[in-house]
Amino acid sequence: MRSPTQQEIADRLGISRATVSRVLRNAAGPKSSTAARIIETAREMGYRLPATANTAARKGAGRQKETVLGLLLCTPDERTSETSEVPMRILRGATDAARERCLLLHVEYITESCAAAIVSPEDVPVAFRKKSVSGVLLSGRLEVETVRLIQSRRPCVRLNQSDPGIQMDIVGQDDRTAVRELVMRLKEQGHRRIGYYCREPKASYALSRFAGYVEALAMMGLIYEQSATINVWEPSGEQAVERAVDAVRDGVSAWICAHDGCAFDLVRRFHKEGIRVPQDVSVCGFDHLPAPAGMPELMTIDWPLEDIAAAGVDMLLQRINEPARAPAQLGFWGRVIDGQSTGPVSGL
């Protein structure tokens, strides 16, 4: 999507372009009500706000120009427009941040099956074994042992994932707040029986969103039904979507899906069974992926992935300069996209 110009932002707000330019140049500075409105509108329109260098990046400009950071982008074995969307946005954010901080960025692409084969230090990508790479950003689904091996050789920051048993810096998404927003909106539409559906229960994002889902139900006085939780406790394989269909016919009126891909799976199967979305059942997802042909635009969460990657660069620089600092975690809020996949409860 084309990034809007500062003039377009100014036109929408009815103010001068000079005012917009002045605020966006100092997006991290103190905010007046006008400045806050400009920044919020810019974000909504998809404007890429300039990243700001932290103290670590400002120390010794000459030295930082020689700093090389690594970015490991792990992608699913089958590449589609759906699976490419998130890695490409991560790459764009990290590249922009590196350029703004006068850093070099070495990027390694690897599929999940190849990443699973990293079982010894010799299997780690050659570039990440060289002293010229000061630290590595890790993005995508990686085996715990793979993460541990790379972390043993270089300072690392994890993007959008967490790994059991490994203490490291993480920059990612605030899943709990995002799920709470979705459940709240569904409740406002009259939904009282809301299910949770995922495709890969071992993925950390699927589990963190499930935890947020259970917490949101408790906060809003809604009943948790294990029968409406699919592919979490016991992977259901081919029967997963059939269980979801049965649950809808039993009265479950809305679904929170771990990501847009499995939400589209549900919508596709519901349509096949004559269950209309959103007239008969509501479906929500995560990640704001493009809707396939014939699919409704989902109510979903659009994450600021470019900002997450840029913050990861900053956190990695801080880790390199302060190796003894306690591991930290930074979570970004997502923006709810209303879409066309939810509606009031119907009597199916």
Q: Where are the domains of the chain?
A: 6-44, 61-172+305-333, 175-302
Per-residue pLDDT, 172: 96
Whether residue 278 is preceded by a cis peptide bond, meaning omega within 30 degrees of 0, is: yes
Instruction: Assign 45 a pLDDT band (cuts: 50, 70, 90).
Output: confident
- Sign of the torsion formed by the C-alpha atoms of 144, 206, 288 and 245: positive
| Tokens encoding 339 | 């879409």
Per-residue pLDDT, 52: 45
CATH architecture under which domain 175-302 falls? 3-Layer(aba) Sandwich (3.40)
Domains 61-172+305-333 and 175-302 in one fold: yes
256 vs 198: CA distance, rounded Å: 9
Per-residue pLDDT, 59: 45
End-to-end CA distance of the chain: 38
Q: Give me the mean pLDDT over the 314-334 stretch.
A: 93
More confident residue, 95 or 234: 95
Pick from 303, 275, 257: nearest CA to 86? 303
How many C-alpha atoms does 110 have within 13 Å on its Cβ side? 24
Q: Is the pLDDT confidence value at 142 over 70?
A: yes
Per-residue pLDDT, 30: 44
The position carrying tokens 């939904």 is 191
CB–CB of 64/109 below 8 Å?
no
Beta-bridge partner residues of 332: 173
The position carrying tokens 């990027």 is 107
| Tokens encoding 252 | 């479950």
Q: Give me the mean pLDDT over the 17-29 stretch.
A: 74
Lowest mean pLDDT among 24-38, 67-81, 99-113, 190-204: 24-38
Q: Give me the mean pLDDT over the 140-154 stretch.
A: 91
More confident residue, 241 or 214: 214
Provide the CA 208 distance to its chain's centre, in angstroms.
12
Q: How much of the chain exceeds pLDDT 90, in percent?
A: 61
Per-residue pLDDT, 202: 80
Lowest mean pLDDT among 162-166, 220-224, 248-252: 162-166
Per-residue pLDDT, 235: 65
Per-residue pLDDT, 2: 66
pLDDT of 60-107, one tens digit each?
A: 444 445 799 999 999 888 776 666 788 999 999 999 999 999 999 999
327 vs 156: CA distance, rounded Å: 10
User: Does the domain at residues 61-172+305-333 carry the CATH identifier 3.40.50.2300?
Assistant: yes
Q: Is the pLDDT confidence value at 55 over 60?
A: no
Lowest mean pLDDT among 17-31, 274-288, 331-345: 17-31
Per-residue pLDDT, 102: 92
Per-residue pLDDT, 82: 64
Instruction: Assign 50 a pLDDT band (cuts: 50, 70, 90).
Output: low
